[in-house]
Amino acid sequence: KTNNPKQPIMKKYYLFAFCLLLTGSLFAQNSNDLKLSVNKGSIKMATEDGQFSFGMGGRVYMDAASYFDDKTDLGSGTEIRDIRLLMKADLWKKWNAKINIGFADGSVSLKDVWLMYKINKNSFVRAGHFLEPFGIEQTESSKTTKFMHAASTVEAFRPGRNLGISYATWGKQVFWEAGLFGSDTNNKTAGDEGYGLTSRFAFAPVQNESGIFHVGMSGIYRTADAAGFNELGEENPKSIRYRSRAATHIEKRRFIDAKVGNADHQTKIGFEMIAATGAVSLQTEYINANVSRNIGEDYTANGWYTQLAWLVKGGNYKYKMKSARLAKPGPGSVELLARYNQTDLNDSGAMIMGGKQKDITIGGTWYVNHNILVKFHFTNVDLDENALNGEENFNMIQTRLQFSF
Amino acid sequence: KTNNPKQPIMKKYYLFAFCLLLTGSLFAQNSNDLKLSVNKGSIKMATEDGQFSFGMGGRVYMDAASYFDDKTDLGSGTEIRDIRLLMKADLWKKWNAKINIGFADGSVSLKDVWLMYKINKNSFVRAGHFLEPFGIEQTESSKTTKFMHAASTVEAFRPGRNLGISYATWGKQVFWEAGLFGSDTNNKTAGDEGYGLTSRFAFAPVQNESGIFHVGMSGIYRTADAAGFNELGEENPKSIRYRSRAATHIEKRRFIDAKVGNADHQTKIGFEMIAATGAVSLQTEYINANVSRNIGEDYTANGWYTQLAWLVKGGNYKYKMKSARLAKPGPGSVELLARYNQTDLNDSGAMIMGGKQKDITIGGTWYVNHNILVKFHFTNVDLDENALNGEENFNMIQTRLQFSF
Amino acid sequence: KTNNPKQPIMKKYYLFAFCLLLTGSLFAQNSNDLKLSVNKGSIKMATEDGQFSFGMGGRVYMDAASYFDDKTDLGSGTEIRDIRLLMKADLWKKWNAKINIGFADGSVSLKDVWLMYKINKNSFVRAGHFLEPFGIEQTESSKTTKFMHAASTVEAFRPGRNLGISYATWGKQVFWEAGLFGSDTNNKTAGDEGYGLTSRFAFAPVQNESGIFHVGMSGIYRTADAAGFNELGEENPKSIRYRSRAATHIEKRRFIDAKVGNADHQTKIGFEMIAATGAVSLQTEYINANVSRNIGEDYTANGWYTQLAWLVKGGNYKYKMKSARLAKPGPGSVELLARYNQTDLNDSGAMIMGGKQKDITIGGTWYVNHNILVKFHFTNVDLDENALNGEENFNMIQTRLQFSF
């Protein structure tokens, strides 16, 4: 046997091959197997070939507000501002699906519910219920907006989520999305729904270590929803409404509110700007809304906000071209914030005085980890004589504990 | 050393055993471990011993409809027809549980919510909220029904889902299910709920390559729900109602509607037939409903539909004895469809004229993959003088984008 | 070659090391990998380092009730008493999050929705929507309470779940929790919400094989919710209400009901006792409620229950100091039950006669496995002349099929 020293070596090779086979068979997983892991604090299930990926999770915002009243007696208290269940899936490599349902206030509200087809790495077509592409804050998840509440200007003029179809594409410096949308999915009024054409274009020539600069523009054309029929079977006059809460949600009254009767359609234009240098960023949006009326003068309203943010801890601001906005600061970050916002729903020409609101907020956010954040805001609200209860000025302190996974 | 050539070989065996042990320990999984995989585009978690299996997912139907009106002004538009979250579990080998909740129209509606005990491979007992065993289309998930909307006959007479208990068994050629059911789970009217006895029997003597032939019969006996009490504490007269939309859901009005007062109980009989040869299939159902009344003549109504389907692409039709109906065509299939349906809620003897509807639909379905399908329908609806707005005839085009995972 | 017998051995070592490497790489999982398993019939996903853990599941209670009436005509029937979807997460080792939403009666109701920070092994701080720490049955999940329905005393006086923050700590023999809570999350009335201070203390000196003995005490101070404003802008008089169903839920009427007007705040005190020896256990709670009023005499009401349980099969009762109550009997257990309960909402001094209810229940529970249980109860209810329809006495049989995973 010692004459053939190859034999033991051969055997070793067999053994070696066998071991490889055994262990290899574990690596060579069935392409249908999903690998389960935690990704930034959330569940991720994915096949290794990139064909399938699933995720599921939830989100909760718990708010408290204390109001220092002027004229109107505001209701201080607590609420679960939002609570959601989420399922999402990447299917057959090219398709994405998302189901996100909200359960705040003890009722069901559909959030992102859509099916997306990825044309290539930089463009997609999407059908379903999602945020119309208009401006920065309107298109951003409340999970990442810097303030607890959208600017009143955005709340008043935003198209929100509607059932529709859109196309989006982005390059190294530009982003463009355009879509066609139906109306409120829960609309139960007799008659045809209105529809809207919406588009957003953004250009970000500077995105580097030293700074970020982004400008953009959005536009909407939307027809008014039917308002039912009168006894003669004729269409009732249609209306379009703009209104907003006072940068808060626990007190639910809308202090500015313009209901424009005899409406045919509305057009809105929005301008946006983001500038950042290091740990300081500035974001501004201006929105102008115009309602074409069948009877009476056209109605015009507008508003704007500007917000300053400073990452006291957490490095520099980053930019995401895919969504054309600032990225969420990393875990552990601490951010200081200030915002000035004014919204003017008065149009003396159209004889519709919806009120004018100016508000200033200063506050901060602690991004505890990927899952948890805490917000704290002080806000002063100033209303003119056309507001709900006339001229008044009040203050509030608000705080949010948010978790998601 | 060379005198003992066994030693290295022994060591090799040890090494071999050790490798086996190492790798083997990875194979010999704890029976509590769940294997995670994708099964037909959905998440599957299962233990290897078949004791446990879990699944979770969602479903969304997005519809659009355009109506070409006659007399009634119909509301064209879009809607999310259905949106669901699903969890299911196979527990301790013998038990199955399912929780399926719908969130369409911004409200919660319970779908399949049940616990099943598998007696053996071919029979089970089930308790909970599920579809009463009556006919083909009534017992089929809307995920797989060929048309966007159930035939108006089925919509008018179907018992739907109720809280109850049933027993089902099937063999090579027969299927039988029978159950006892309570009434609408959300019933809040004072007084005792009605109850129903429901059964379906099907016989499929031909199920092979060359063709499929299936006949069946179903029956229901159901008492009327209490309608509360009058001031004297006496029971109010009970009623039973049959009604249907016009083969559409975005326009929500029911054009045929018979409310039968002074009702005691109802009996319904259904006949069903499926015939297929190769890529062509025919499905027909006839339903007769009778209401026994305490005052006045008994009320009788009936309806039937017949539908033709042709798999232009996707092979031949297949049959599932377990549910006694055609199986869902495979991914990639393209199907052409035609259906004639008429429902007559007029009974001049009982002096209740609920209206008569005839409708014809032609359309098609593209089964994009396991998760996605697209439907497209053209429908003509013809109503008699007893319908909601009298005699009229209108057309509509409808489309659906459906995804589930 | 045989001159160097070391070589093959060296090679073997390399081979050995290589095998170790190969297999070892499989053991040395990424700390982000989640291991998927079944734990007591439920899905569990956890990292091996204890940093993350996720769970998801559902729960359904299906009830039927048959009433043997006295004066009031009660509505026998069936219902899905509760149906829930659950997601929970242990995040970054120190944090726990839970989202539990109920969908019974076709509406959304928030259940446990909270974020917890684990200070150490024996204490935590929790913020969110959860059961205020008051007594035994109020703080226990309906999944494990011995009876289908909470004692009417607990139903009448319980604070339920509210949005708040609490601190809990426990040792070998003591448990203490205290919290500050807002009011009903769905409160939409104008004006400030009320708030509550709630605390529970329990002492369990005996927890061994031969027996269990536990006593405890709870207290609440809670201000009344605002009731809106009158035309002059003045606050409407506030009220506090105590009421309860008749140890059942399918018949929804509350037979005892006291609405205390001109209320300022309420204080409640609860005493609790658990004693067990072997397979027999006794549990008792007494609650006294007092409403301080701005006009009129203070209102006082009280109630108590005592329940006896016998584990015919399933071993001895066990105790959990972490929640300060008896543990759920193991799978396969069979338990016999008896409960006497009386609730007196009459206060002649305050001239508010809400009615008095005495009820006796005998029944049993079969814990089929970790996921499924069946309950069966017979109940006699006795009401005094101040109850909804005056003096009466009726009986009922109720049963529940419960599953969860």
In a shared domain, residues B211 and B253: yes
| Number of domains within chain B | 2
Region A91-102: what's the mean pLDDT?
97
Lowest average pLDDT, out of A390-399, B24-33, B83-92, B289-298, goes to B24-33
Confidence (pLDDT) at B1 = 41
Region B367-395: what's the mean pLDDT?
97
Give the structural domain span for B9: 1-29
Mean per-residue pLDDT of chain A? 92
Q: How far is A142 from chain C (nearest CA, A)?
A: 18
* Length of chain A counted residue by residue: 405
CB C123 within 8 A of CB C167: yes
Region B317-342: what's the mean pLDDT?
97
State the number of CA atoms in the 13 A half-sphere of A135 facing the CB.
28
Q: B257 CB contacts (<8 Å, ≥6 apart)?
A: B241, B242, B243, B244, B345, B354, B355, B388
Contacts of A38 in chain C (CB under 8 A): 32, 34, 47, 51-52
Contacts of C182 in chain A (CB under 8 A): 64, 77-78
The beta strand positions in C140-195, using DSSP E, are: 161-170, 174-181
DSSP B137: G
Q: C79 and B183: CB-CB below 8 Å?
A: no
In a shared domain, residues B15 and B73: no
Confidence (pLDDT) at B69 = 81
CB C292 within 8 A of CB C310: no
In a shared domain, residues B254 and B302: yes
* H helix and E strand count, chain C: 2, 22
Quick one: pLDDT band at residue A232, thresholds 50, 70, 90?
confident
pLDDT in tens, C241-279: 999 999 999 998 999 999 999 999 999 999 999 999 999
DSSP A184: -
Task: Evaluate whether residue B161 is within a structural domain.
Answer: yes
Is the Cβ of C392 closer than 8 Å to some Cβ of chain B?
Answer: no
Confidence (pLDDT) at B75 = 82
Q: B126 CB contacts (<8 Å, ≥6 apart)?
A: B114, B115, B116, B117, B165, B166, B167, B168, B179
Task: Evaluate whether residue C119 is within a structural domain.
Answer: no
Instruction: Provide the phi-psi class of C107: left if phi over 0, else alpha when psi is between -120 and 50, else beta.
Output: beta
Q: A128 and B62: CB-CB below 8 Å?
A: yes
Quick one: pLDDT band at residue A28, thresholds 50, 70, 90?
very low
In a shared domain, residues B258 and B372: yes
pLDDT in tens, C17-52: 655 555 544 444 566 899 999 999 999 999 999 999
Confidence (pLDDT) at A6 = 54
Q: A110 and B107: CB-CB below 8 Å?
A: no
Task: Evaluate whether residue C323 is within a structural domain.
Answer: yes
Region A29-37: what's the mean pLDDT?
82
Structure tokens at C39: 């734990």
Is the Cβ of C101 closer than 8 Å to some Cβ of chain A?
Answer: yes
pLDDT in tens, A150-169: 999 999 999 999 999 999 99
The residue among B25, B91, B223 with the most chain C CBs within 10 A of its CB, best to mutate, is: B91
The alpha-carbon radius of gyration of chain B (Å, integer) is 26
pLDDT in tens, A304-318: 999 999 999 999 999
Whole-angstrom distance, CA of residue B320 vs CA of residue B309: 17
CB A239 within 8 A of CB A175: no
Give me the interface pTM, i.e. the ipTM.
Answer: 0.90
CB B372 within 8 A of CB B318: no
Task: Evaluate whether residue A126 is within a structural domain.
Answer: no
Is the Cβ of B372 closer than 8 Å to some Cβ of chain A?
Answer: yes
Structure tokens at C341: 């309960």
Contacts of C30 in chain A (CB under 8 A): 37
Whole-angstrom distance, CA of residue A362 vs CA of residue B51: 57
| pLDDT(C292) > 80 | yes
Confidence (pLDDT) at A77 = 85
What residue of B is the nearest CA neighbor of A30?
Answer: B37
Whole-angstrom distance, CA of residue C321 vs CA of residue C305: 22
Confidence (pLDDT) at A27 = 47
The alpha-carbon radius of gyration of chain A (Å, integer) is 26
DSSP C106: G
Which residue, B134, B179, B199, is CA-closest to B160? B134
Task: Evaluate whether residue B271 is within a structural domain.
Answer: yes
Which residue, B344, B331, B335, B128, is CA-closest to B256? B344
Whole-angstrom distance, CA of residue C363 vs CA of residue B359: 55
Structure tokens at A371: 């899952």
Q: How far is C341 from chain A (nearest CA, A)?
A: 32
Q: C35 and B33: CB-CB below 8 Å?
A: yes
Task: Evaluate whether residue B93 is within a structural domain.
Answer: no
Q: Which residue has the higher pLDDT, A259 or C13?
A: A259
CB < 8 Å from B in window 165-184 of A: 182-183
Q: Which range in B172-176, C106-110, C235-239 is most confidently predicted, on average pLDDT?
A: B172-176
Confidence (pLDDT) at B74 = 85
- For C17, counting Cβ atoms within 10 Å of its Cβ (0-12 exposed, 13-18 middle, 19+ buried), the class is exposed
CATH number at residue C329: 2.40.160.10
Percent of chain C residues topping a pLDDT of 90:
81
Confidence (pLDDT) at A230 = 85
Q: Which residue has the higher pLDDT, A29 or B307?
A: B307
The beta strand positions in C70-189, using DSSP E, are: 77-91, 95-102, 109-120, 123-131, 161-170, 174-181
pLDDT in tens, A331-369: 999 999 999 999 999 999 999 999 999 999 999 999 999
Q: B115 and C12: CB-CB below 8 Å?
A: no
Beta bridge partners of C110: C101
Is the Cβ of A107 closer than 8 Å to some Cβ of chain B?
Answer: yes
| pLDDT(C3) > 90 | no
| pLDDT(A1) > 70 | no
Quick one: pLDDT band at residue B25, thresholds 50, 70, 90?
very low
pLDDT in tens, B205-241: 999 988 999 999 999 999 998 888 888 878 889 999 9
Lowest average pLDDT, out of B58-67, B226-235, C130-139, C164-173, goes to B226-235
In a shared domain, residues B79 and B206: yes
Is the Cβ of A104 closer than 8 Å to some Cβ of chain B?
Answer: no
Region B68-83: what's the mean pLDDT?
87
Contacts of B34 in chain A (CB under 8 A): none
Quick one: pLDDT band at residue B201, thresholds 50, 70, 90?
very high
The beta strand positions in B261-404, using DSSP E, are: 263-277, 280-293, 299-313, 319-320, 325-326, 334-347, 352-366, 372-383, 392-404
Quick one: pLDDT band at residue B127, thresholds 50, 70, 90?
very high
Confidence (pLDDT) at B188 = 65
Q: Which of B36, B91, B99 sits opposite C60 (nearest CB)?
A: B99
CB C359 within 8 A of CB C246: yes
Confidence (pLDDT) at A10 = 63
Contacts of B193 in chain C (CB under 8 A): 75-78
Task: Evaluate whether residue A252 is within a structural domain.
Answer: yes
Pairing label, strands A77-91, A95-102: antiparallel
Is the Cβ of C187 closer than 8 Å to some Cβ of chain A?
Answer: yes
Task: Evaluate whether residue B39 is within a structural domain.
Answer: no
Region C164-188: what's the mean pLDDT?
90
Confidence (pLDDT) at C370 = 96
Contacts of C45 in chain A (CB under 8 A): 36, 43
Contacts of B79 in chain A (CB under 8 A): 163, 185
What residue of B is the nearest CA neighbor of C81?
Answer: B185
Confidence (pLDDT) at B355 = 97
In a shared domain, residues B304 and B365: yes
Is the Cβ of A20 closer than 8 Å to some Cβ of chain C?
Answer: yes
Contacts of A78 in chain C (CB under 8 A): 163-164, 182-183, 185, 193
pLDDT in tens, C204-250: 999 998 899 999 999 999 999 888 888 887 888 999 999 999 999 99
Residue A295's CB: how many other CB atoms inside 10 A? 9
Is the Cβ of C371 closer than 8 Å to some Cβ of chain B?
Answer: yes
CB C296 within 8 A of CB C350: yes
In a shared domain, residues B156 and B232: yes
Q: Which of A26, A41, A57 sits opposite C87 (nearest CB)?
A: A57
Q: A103 and C107: CB-CB below 8 Å?
A: no
Q: What is the DSSP string of B79-108?
A: EEEEEEEEEEEEETTTEEEEEEEE-GGGS-
Structure tokens at B225: 């729900």
Quick one: pLDDT band at residue B28, thresholds 50, 70, 90?
very low
Percent of chain A residues topping a pLDDT of 70:
91
Mean per-residue pLDDT of chain B? 92
Confidence (pLDDT) at C343 = 98
Structure tokens at B23: 């790798």
The beta strand positions in C172-210, using DSSP E, are: 174-181, 196-208
Whole-angstrom distance, CA of residue B355 vs CA of residue B318: 37
Percent of chain C residues topping a pLDDT of 70:
91
Give the SS3 label for residue B349.
Answer: coil
Residue B222 vs residues B179, B295, B298, C170: alpha-carbon distances, Å:
12, 18, 15, 56
Beta bridge partners of C85: C58, C101
Pairing label, strands C35-39, B334-347: unpaired
